Amino acid sequence: MSKLKPDINIIQSGIFTQWDENSDALPRLLKATVHVPAEIDIEFGFIAQIKKAKNQRLRYCIYHPNIPDKSGNIRPPFDGELFVQSNDWKFYLGDTIWAPEHDKVGKWRMTLELKGKVIADKTFNVHLNNEEDKIAAFWKRRRS
């Protein structure tokens, strides 16, 4: 008996509409990007399509950029496990920015694992709005 090898692809990544955890609907992609402005309630992440892995345990993890809690301690990564629901399943992994936004700046890494192996990995650069303006201005000057 042959075993099927899971097939995993990140099909969308970037900024999304707000995710409703009580709905089966996935959020809608608004902008494909890895550069995310640090704005309150902005939703970002990725949708992975997972094939040939039904009932396998999927581990997800979001590594935050040293965000402190109310006591000043660094928050641990947000992680959990669930089971792949079908042989052609789409899964959204994402997060949102909350106040104060200035301490959310940095690299946010999101991963999915099956059987201890990372199968999807995406890093987002969360920045203050003025940082994006500086980058755009730099490239505009270089082109002139």
Between CA 111 and CA 75 the distance in angstroms is 17
The top-level CATH class assigned to 7-143 is mainly beta
pTM: 0.85
Which single residue is written with the structure tokens 């995993």? 8
Count CB atoms within 10 A of the CB of residue 139. 9
Delimit the domains of the chain by residue range: 7-143
Condensed to tens digits (0 to 9), the pLDDT of residues 20-51 reads: 888 889 999 999 999 999 999 999 999 999 99
Q: What is the pLDDT along the chain (144 residues), one digit of tens a residue?
A: 346 788 999 999 999 999 888 888 999 999 999 999 999 999 999 999 999 999 999 999 999 999 998 898 999 999 999 999 999 999 999 999 999 999 999 999 999 999 999 999 999 999 998 655 555 555 556 665
Q: How big is the chain, counted in residues?
A: 144
Residue among 109, 116, 29 at smallest CA distance from 61: 109
Residue 136: which residues within 8 A CB-CB, separation 6 or more? none
